[in-house]
């Protein structure tokens, strides 16, 4: 970003927003928005509590297990769809339907089926994230140039070598995009799941804080989640930038 | 259109004994019908003499590349037979190396790793394969570019990497699919000369698909002229242009120009109008 010829670091835009937030908070216009400094103080209050640690633990647990399932199945289904036309047309429609459907609606059904605990949260993370991973994997595998595949075959590549040395490498830009989008959806999934369940994890805390009008605590928790999601997606984006140089020349 | 009655007749098998005196590759009554019913090849038969460069030329869409890929074992024939050293081809093998029209380089790998990739797939230890690859990278004229990436190279240089990769696996037969089609004209001439010089040192059997008559006459010992799809072999000719006088001399020699004219006359009949 540049202002009147001066290079301004991106963090500056955050500072501007925080200042604005502080002003609006101080004016006491909306009860929903406490001053930013109050939110910062609430961090000290929220983060060390047993409630928070427990919520974070169970949330992270559901997130990690759900994402692991999504990666395994998403990559598997995506590769199968990308390599095999029959599988692609058989599964493509369903994957697309689920990808674009409002999955929040089936969380209550999941609750009835799996209870109010970890299984439901894992299922929610999985259902939110697996489709985009499968679709991006499919696109990536389909975009691998056929002559690169023929090249590997002509030099005697085994099936294993073809998958690991050619397809996986060549599809990496799309695979990483799928991972990044999948992580973001998974985050949404775990929070939405917990909000609907309302008695566990971060969702319970959100419920508690908003019901008791503890707005600084509410915002502090939200910022923790934002930061986590942002760092996770930026970490993947870093690797995406590293491979982007060949995304256009495959 | 031709009216062959038995394009699916059983191929005649040779006795299967390795015969170093015989042709390196025999293509016998090859037919290819693509899914969807397009007949690309309809009884293509020719021999590729050992240690020579044979070009396959014909109107576009006539199945030159398909023929080459069947020889490579990358595409299955509908009927007919390809024999390499008397053995029927069913899949790619270490006796054949392919040079691709669009180079088919791995964009994430350096020139050296690309050139060594054929050896890598064969399980040659890293040090050994990089040594061999380095030698061929220098031979094709890319000394100093070992650590460059494909996107940093021009089209001509990329194809040199493709050539180095094919030479590095030391296959007896080199299959080149319009290797200079994506390379601009001036670079192409230089490349043709370099190729001929390299091949004279390497003693390979080369099958070279091209759509350029001049290129075919310039580089070939033998030229297989194909008809329009569904293709058959129209003629096999041996120009035998005297190459002793250097490239400028060759391109102006009456024999060269005469052959270009004769092949053009042969091909003209098959062009779409």
Helix (H) / strand (E) containing B32: strand B25-33
State how far the Cα of B128 lies from the Cα of A224, in Å rounded to an integer. 52
Same domain, B104 and B222: no
CA distance A9 to chain B (A): 31
Same domain, B41 and B55: yes
In a domain? residue B17 = no
CA distance A155 to chain B (A): 5
State how far the Cα of A178 lies from the Cα of A70, in Å rounded to an integer. 11
Same domain, B88 and B206: yes
Tell me the HSE value of B268 on the side-chain side, using a 13 A CA sphere: 7
Is a pLDDT exceeding 80 seen at residue B2? Answer: no
Helix, strand, coil content of chain A in percent (nearest 5) = 80, 0, 15
- Overall number of domains in chain B: 2
CB contact under 8 A, B149 and A157: no
Position B177 scores a pLDDT of 94
- B253, two tokens: 């020699």
More confident residue, A43 or A6: A43
Confidence of residue B107 (pLDDT cuts 50, 70, 90): very high
Residue of A nearest to B122 (CA): A156
Confidence of residue A249 (pLDDT cuts 50, 70, 90): low
Same domain, B83 and B207: yes
More confident residue, B173 or A117: B173
At residue B10, what are phi and psi to the nearest 5 degrees?
Answer: -60, 135
Q: Please, are residues B58 and B44 in contact by the beta-carbon 8 Å criterion?
A: no
Is a pLDDT exceeding 80 seen at residue B243? Answer: no
Lowest mean pLDDT among B163-167, B229-233, B257-261: B229-233
Is a pLDDT exceeding 60 seen at residue A109? Answer: yes
Position B14 scores a pLDDT of 44
Same domain, B86 and B104: no
Same domain, B74 and B88: yes
Position B269 scores a pLDDT of 80
Lowest mean pLDDT among A12-21, B83-92, B117-126: A12-21
CB contact under 8 A, B118 and A243: no
b/e string for B189-212 if b means 16 or more Cβ within 10 A? bebbebbeebbeeeebbbbbbbbb
b/e string for A57-70 if b means 16 or more Cβ within 10 A? ebbeebbebbbebb
Is a pLDDT exceeding 50 seen at residue B226? Answer: yes
Count Cβ–Cβ pairs < 8 Å, chain A vs chain B.
64
Q: Are strands B233-237 and B87-88 parallel, antiparallel or unpaired?
A: unpaired
Position A101 scores a pLDDT of 85
Q: Which residues of B touch A172 (CB under 8 A)?
A: 108
3-state secondary structure of A216: helix
Position B17 scores a pLDDT of 45
In a domain? residue B186 = no
Position A49 scores a pLDDT of 87
Confidence of residue B230 (pLDDT cuts 50, 70, 90): confident
Same domain, B128 and B165: yes
| Residue B272, domain CATH | 3.40.50.300
In a domain? residue B220 = yes
Confidence of residue B62 (pLDDT cuts 50, 70, 90): confident
- B191 touching A, CB under 8 A? no
Same domain, B76 and B118: no
The ipTM is 0.86
Could you say which of B146, B170, B194 is where a domain stops?
Answer: B170
User: Which residues constitute the domain of residue B44?
Assistant: 23-92+173-180+202-249+265-273
State how far the Cα of B48 lies from the Cα of B94, in Å rounded to an integer. 18
Q: Which residues of B touch A155 (CB under 8 A)?
A: 92, 97-98, 117-118, 121-122, 165, 169
CB contact under 8 A, A170 and B106: yes
In a domain? residue B1 = no
In a domain? residue B8 = no
Same domain, B87 and B210: yes
In a domain? residue B259 = no
- Nearest Cβ partner for B169 among A152, A155, A158: A155
Sign of CA pseudo-dihedral A10, A12, A15, A16: negative
Average pLDDT estimate for B84-91 = 92
- B104 touching A, CB under 8 A? yes
Mean pLDDT of chain A: 89
- Kindly report the number of other CB atoms within 10 A of residue B40's CB atom: 23
Helix (H) / strand (E) containing B225: strand B222-226
Same domain, B206 and B72: yes
Same domain, B100 and B161: yes
- A166 touching B, CB under 8 A? yes
Position A116 scores a pLDDT of 85
In a domain? residue B13 = no
State how far the Cα of B41 lies from the Cα of B30, in Å rounded to an integer. 7
Is a pLDDT exceeding 90 seen at residue A5? Answer: no
- Nearest Cβ partner for B74 among A154, A161, A170: A154
In a domain? residue B5 = no
- Nearest Cβ partner for A147 among B96, B102, B149: B102
- Nearest Cβ partner for A249 among B73, B107, B122: B107
- A250 touching B, CB under 8 A? yes
b/e string for A30-52 if b means 16 or more Cβ within 10 A? eeebbbbebbeebbeebeeeeeb
CA distance A151 to chain B (A): 6
CA distance B50 to chain A (A): 21
Position A248 scores a pLDDT of 65
State how far the Cα of A17 lies from the Cα of A23, in Å rounded to an integer. 10
Residue B30 β-bridge partners? B44
- B58 touching A, CB under 8 A? no
- B100, two tokens: 């691709």
Position A250 scores a pLDDT of 57
Write the CA distances from B75 to A53, B34, B92, integer angstroms.
60, 10, 9
Residue B79 β-bridge partners? B31
> Which of B71, B94, B104, B173 is the best substitution to test chain A (most A C-beta atoms within 10 A)?
B104
Mean pLDDT of chain B: 87
Same domain, B82 and B108: no
Is a pLDDT exceeding 60 seen at residue A240? Answer: yes
């Amino acid at each position: 970003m540049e202002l009147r010829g001066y290079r301004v670091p991106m963090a500056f835009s955050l500072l501007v927003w925080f200042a604005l937030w502080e002003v609006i908070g101080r004016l006491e216009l909306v009860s929903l928005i406490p001053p930013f400094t109050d939110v910062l103080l609430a961090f000290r209050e929220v983060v060390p509590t047993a409630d928070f640690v427990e919520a974070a633990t169970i949330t992270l647990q559901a997130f990690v297990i759900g994402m692991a399932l999504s990666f395994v199945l998403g990559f598997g289904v995506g590769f199968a769809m990308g390599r095999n036309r029959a599988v692609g047309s058989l599964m493509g429609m369903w994957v697309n339907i689920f990808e674009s459907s409002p999955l929040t609606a089936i969380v209550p059904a999941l609750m009835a089926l799996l209870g109010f605990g970890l299984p439901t949260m894992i299922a929610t993370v999985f259902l939110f994230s697996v489709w985009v991973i499968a679709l991006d994997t499919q696109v990536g595998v389909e975009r691998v140039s056929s002559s690169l595949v023929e090249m590997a075959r002509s030099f005697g590549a085994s099936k294993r070598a073809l998958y690991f040395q050619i397809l996986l490498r060549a599809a990496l830009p799309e695979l990483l995009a799928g991972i990044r989008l999948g992580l973001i959806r998974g985050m949404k999934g775990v929070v939405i799941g917990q909000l609907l369940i309302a008695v566990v994890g971060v969702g319970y805390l959100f419920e508690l804080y908003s019901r008791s009008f503890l707005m600084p605590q509410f915002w502090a928790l939200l910022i923790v989640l934002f930061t986590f999601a942002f760092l996770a997606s930026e970490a993947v984006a870093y690797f995406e930038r590293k491979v982007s140089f060949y995304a256009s020349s495959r | 259109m031709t009216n062959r009655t038995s394009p699916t007749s059983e191929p005649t098998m040779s006795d299967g004994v390795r015969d170093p005196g015989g042709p390196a590759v025999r293509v016998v009554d090859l037919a290819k019908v693509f899914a969807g019913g397009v007949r690309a090849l309809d009884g293509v038969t020719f021999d590729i003499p050992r240690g020579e460069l044979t070009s396959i030329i014909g109107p576009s869409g006539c199945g030159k590349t398909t023929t080459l890929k069947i020889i490579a074992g990358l595409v299955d024939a509908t009927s007919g037979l390809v024999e390499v050293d008397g053995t029927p081809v069913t899949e790619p093998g270490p006796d054949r190396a392919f040079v691709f029209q669009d180079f088919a380089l791995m964009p994430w790998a350096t020139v050296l790793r690309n050139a060594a990739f054929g050896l890598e797939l064969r399980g040659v230890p890293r040090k050994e394969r990089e040594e061999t690859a380095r030698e061929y990278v220098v031979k094709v004229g890319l000394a100093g570019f070992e650590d460059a990436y494909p996107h940093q190279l021009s089209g001509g240089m990329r194809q040199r990497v493709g050539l180095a990769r094919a030479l590095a696996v030391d296959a007896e037969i080199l299959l080149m699919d319009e290797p200079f089609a994506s390379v601009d004209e001036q670079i192409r001439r230089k490349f043709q000369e370099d190729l001929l010089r390299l091949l004279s040192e390497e003693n390979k059997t080369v099958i070279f698909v091209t759509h350029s008559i001049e290129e075919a006459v310039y580089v070939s010992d033998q030229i297989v002229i194909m008809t329009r799809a569904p293709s058959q072999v129209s003629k096999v000719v041996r120009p035998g242009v005297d190459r002793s006088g250097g490239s400028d001399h060759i391109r102006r020699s009456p024999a060269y120009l005469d052959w270009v004219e004769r092949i053009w006359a042969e091909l003209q009949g098959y062009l779409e109008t």
